Structure 1
Amino acid sequence: MDRPLDLSKTHDSHLHSTYLGRGARTVLTVLMFGAMLAGCASPTSVKFARSTFSSLDTETVFVATNRKAIGKSDFDGERGEKIQFSSYAISIPPIHEVGQIEWPRNEPDPAKHFAVIKAQPFSETAGFKQHLNVAIDTPGARTVDGKREAILFVHGYNTNFSEGLYRAAQMKHDFGITSPMTLFSWPSAGKPGLYMYDRDSVKASRDQLADVVRMLTNSKAEQVTLVAHSLGTELLMEALRQMALSNDGRLPAKVKAVILISPDLDIDVFNSQLQVIKTLPRDFMVFVSEKDQALQISSFLAGDTNRVGNNIDETRIKRDGINVIDVSEFDGGDGLNHMTAITSPSLVSLLKGMAQSGQRKMLSESGLQTSLSDKLVDTATLPLTLVVKTTKAILNQ
């Protein structure tokens, strides 16, 4: 969610006439988002590098999308009729700063910008699964405890295809993720003023996301980690709810972790989704921040109701064992503090270090407070504190 309000440049102009003007709240939100996001433009299409050099760092991102295709390697904000699969090799520039995406203005220069250096579409699901399984089975792709893992990332609101793709590559690179990552790119319009269109796209994408999760659990992976951001968290939770409803309340056994980042999700809705799932995955983490300005606007649009992502009171979540991670002391690199967990250099460094040293269990101790000064010695933002609380719900019978 880091682009300016621009209703003049889009393939899908008819979306605007349908979804703009749904009342004063929507209009006000358009104006507020436009003002807050101005000056942070990102490209609206996938851009290939014409030349590369051998020393470039590259990240491979697998993609499953229900967007409408435009050409062989790009997709717009329209809703497609089926899931399409592909993979992309994305170069990371030597000047890359942790948490950032170095956007090209025109033709990308791999020395300065993120760029696609190769795209491979798959005409059949079987071909995609074959390539994904090869990546999963690569010895260097194992987790710290030697497990074969598949990771799924679901982007948030106001995200065009290229932004979701580059964001997945940025996360994979900055966190040092070796397991293959699949991006589920759902048809967000990629425009701040089309929040309601995006919400409807979430509803239209639930079944297809559930199909992708099932496909990953039927791969060679021994464990599957599901990560979602912003409005993508509602999409993921709805897909998991549907999967549980069709399987006597159970999720696939291979789903070992769910990570929700800045959830744009009503707390009551979240609690109702959780009630359907009998047994939660081993690790269930929710990153929240009181300083999330995007969720403040979302709360206003929803009638001043709290979103999960700006709620730091873990007692409002009516389910045991969910780790609520308060990152309010950190500043995100996106200006709105809506992507703090993936754009704050200090927080990325801390979480990366914990993951690589196998310290995930540190995020499952009630009331844990981990000081950055214990983990990092070269940051200018010391001391900052990561506060983790584990829910201990008392349900009314």
Structure 2
Amino acid sequence: MKRAVALIAMSLLLASCAMPEVQRLPPIPEVKAAYTDKEVKYPVLYGTSRMPNSAKTAYLDQRAARVQYGRVIVTIPKGRMTGSLGENGIFSARDTRLAIAAGDIEFHSQDSFMALAKSQLGAGVNPESGYLLVFIHGYNNSFEDAALRAAQLGFDLNVAPNNMMFFSWAANKNYRKYTHDEATADASEIHLEAFLKTVRAAAGGRKVHIIAHSMGNRPLLRVISRMQVLPGEKKPFGQIILAAPDVDRDVFMHYGQNYLKVAERTTIYLSPFDFAMQLSQDVHFYPRVGCGNKPQAEIKDIDSIVSFIPEDFPAHTYVASTLPLLNDVKNLFVNGKPARQGAAWKAYPTYWTVGPANSMARSTCSALPG
């Protein structure tokens, strides 16, 4: 009898060790579906590897020789819904799209950017927003696209004004130029590395979190792989969010361990409905980390979340637009740990799912064998 009890206890212990971590934490204000109650001017700081136009009023889709710095003031209109970039007025009563007005893109040198950041960053003592967040966009994004998405994320996650930042590599605003963007993502690695060093220097002890989306994960992976952290040295980043990563599975399995050395926690979000990831997988033939109804790449101590939450075609921006994932990301930033509770969340031995998972549901983005 004693032996049977011991075996049962051991089985329960092993099962609990295998389950993904979840912890009941003090509640934080929830990200809820709501319309913006008034117009907001939301400032985001940036670094870019794009070349400015001759008038220095905007940025082009051409590569620059060095990082350009500055700030953008994004207008978030009244009536814009949480998780969205707004509606153009065709199917709604008013135009609620996020926008950048003429003259609202500021250009700074690296030194003046540092001075601006240090003078404008929100208080670092508030756990709700006392951190910096860097967004790295994916393929087929213009500079303006990146600025608007960064502002939407920052505003919806309650990041303090000026604490939201983004890095815009010289992606081409043309969905046909996928290979162009692949080459440019590779070339942007040194510029991203320089920008992240500048951000860390400006942070003033605040934690620096990162959200990399889609192809933006590729230069980040290479930057992280080269970083050196000495034994006992504080990790340079807090949370790193890998959203719909357009990264080869085998490449990630080779280099992904490096995230554990530089970040307090790393989380992968993928989806079986991500049409963009399916196209990338078709082009490359080999599995992409952001594609599938279960994790393509599993590394111990890196979390994987499979989203079964329905999203509009091409279902590629779910981390920024669906409330359960926005809340998951916010809990990670504020508490440092997830708070995945409720009927929508389900824990498997090595990963989580969220949304109405159904084995009979059609999977747009399917896993490849091997």
TM-score (norm 1): 0.70
Matching residue of 1:198: 181
Matching residue of 1:76: 60
- Structure 1 unaligned runs (5+)? 1-53, 364-368, 374-383, 392-397
- CA distance in 2 between partners of 1:302 and 1:154 (Å): 22
Is 1:161–2:138 an aligned residue pair?
A: no
- CA distance in 1 between partners of 2:69 and 2:349 (Å): 38
Q: 1:142 aligns with which of 120, 126, 130?
A: 126
Aligned length: 308
With 280-289 and 54-63 compared, the bigger mean Cα shift is at 54-63
Decide whether the 8 Å contact of 2:70 with 2:105 is kept in 1.
yes
Identity %: 21
Matching residue of 2:112: 127
Matching residue of 1:234: 218
Amino acid in the other structure paired with 2:304: V
Amino acid in the other structure paired with 2:186: K
What's the CA shift string for 1:323-350, capped at 9, x where partnerless?
111112x1234x11111111124543x4
Matching residue of 1:344: 322
Q: 2:73 aligns with which of 81, 89, 95?
A: 89
- CA distance in 1 between partners of 2:317 and 2:117 (Å): 28
- CA distance in 1 between partners of 2:196 and 2:120 (Å): 17
Decide whether the 8 Å contact of 2:244 with 2:316 is kept in 1.
yes
Matching residue of 1:361: 337
State the secondary structure of the residue aligned to 1:282.
Answer: strand
| C-alpha displacement of 1:210 | 0.6
| C-alpha displacement of 1:231 | 0.3
Cα distance 1:296–1:290, how it changes in 2: closer, same or farther (>3 A)? Answer: same
Q: 1:385 aligns with which of 342, 345, 349?
A: 345
Cα distance 1:272–1:121, how it changes in 2: closer, same or farther (>3 A)? Answer: same
- CA distance in 2 between partners of 1:190 and 1:339 (Å): 17
Matching residue of 2:288: 307
Decide whether the 8 Å contact of 1:326 with 1:388 is kept in 2.
no
State the secondary structure of the residue aligned to 2:158.
Answer: coil
Amino acid in the other structure paired with 1:331: P
- CA distance in 2 between partners of 1:65 and 1:55 (Å): 30
State the secondary structure of the residue aligned to 2:209.
Answer: strand
Written as runs of structure 1 = structure 2, the 5 A alignment for 1:41-120 is 55-70=38-53, 71-102=55-86, 112-117=96-101, 119=104
Higher RCO (CA < 8 A, seq sep 6+): 2
What's the CA shift string for 1:245-264, capped at 9, x where partnerless?
xx679997331221110000
Cα distance 1:296–1:113, how it changes in 2: closer, same or farther (>3 A)? Answer: closer
- CA distance in 1 between partners of 2:238 and 2:293 (Å): 24
- Structure 2 unaligned runs (5+)? 1-36, 352-370
Is 1:293–2:275 an aligned residue pair?
A: yes
Amino acid in the other structure paired with 1:124: S
Matching residue of 2:192: 209
State the secondary structure of the residue aligned to 1:207.
Answer: helix
- CA distance in 2 between partners of 1:213 and 1:389 (Å): 34
With 178-187 and 192-201 compared, the bigger mean Cα shift is at 178-187
The RMSD of aligned alpha carbons is 3.0
- CA distance in 1 between partners of 2:210 and 2:292 (Å): 21
Decide whether the 8 Å contact of 2:87 with 2:95 is kept in 1.
no
TM-score (norm 2): 0.74
| C-alpha displacement of 1:135 | 2.8
State the secondary structure of the residue aligned to 2:195.
Answer: helix
Matching residue of 1:51: none
What's the CA shift string for 1:172-210, capped at 9, x where partnerless?
112222261111000001111100000000111001101
State the secondary structure of the residue aligned to 2:177.
Answer: helix
| C-alpha displacement of 1:160 | 1.0
- CA distance in 2 between partners of 1:251 and 1:240 (Å): 16
| C-alpha displacement of 1:120 | 5.0
- CA distance in 2 between partners of 1:206 and 1:251 (Å): 24
Is 1:322–2:307 an aligned residue pair?
A: no
Decide whether the 8 Å contact of 1:243 with 1:251 is kept in 2.
no
Amino acid in the other structure paired with 2:328: L
